[in-house]
Amino acid sequence: MKHTILLIEDNEQNLYLATFLLEQNGFDVIPARTGPEGIELAGRIVPDLVILDIQLPQMDGYAVARALRQNPTLKDVPIVAVTSHAMVGDRERTLEAGCNGYIEKPIDPDTFRSQIEEHLKTRPTSGGTEP
């Protein structure tokens, strides 16, 4: 069974690129364009992994990560921040908010898959369902 990844990203180009790379590597991708939409979808589908942009409308990625971590059903779901926030302390801030990993934008198509798979190694496939 394929891994299901929830991709919370508001930028159409970034959403397209990440979705393309993930689907080409055998992942099922469910998109969300806002934090509240992502939180709602995550609770409903319980993905194998959440890829989370930090700069989102309505609610930033830090708040989204904290909200996801408050849901007991999602406590073991890895969250990977994918962000252009690359200043000193940004990585630590994402980890403190509840993310398990951090990938800087622009994503590197040659390493993106392996970076994502690192966070799936200890997570069994849930076979999440599409909404």
Query: Which fold is adopted by the domain 4-120?
Result: Rossmann fold (3.40.50)
Cα end-to-end distance, the chain, whole Å = 17
**pLDDT tens-digit series, residues 93-131:** 999 999 999 999 899 999 999 999 999 986 555 544 444
| Alpha carbons 25 and 27: distance in angstroms, whole number | 6
Q: Report the pLDDT value the prediction gives residue 90, as an integer from 0 to 100.
A: 84
Mean pLDDT computed over 46-72: 96
| Alpha carbons 90 and 116: distance in angstroms, whole number | 19
**pLDDT tens-digit series, residues 78-93:** 999 998 866 778 889 9
Query: Which sequence spans correspond to the domains of the chain?
Result: 4-120
Q: Report the pLDDT value the prediction gives residue 87, as an integer from 0 to 100.
A: 73
Cβ-based neighbours of 69, under 8 Å, separated by 6 or more: 75, 79, 98
Mean pLDDT computed over 50-63: 95
| Alpha carbons 102 and 84: distance in angstroms, whole number | 10
Q: Which is higher by pLDDT, 62 or 126?
A: 62
| Alpha carbons 106 and 96: distance in angstroms, whole number | 22
Q: Report the pLDDT value the prediction gives residue 130, as an integer from 0 to 100.
A: 41
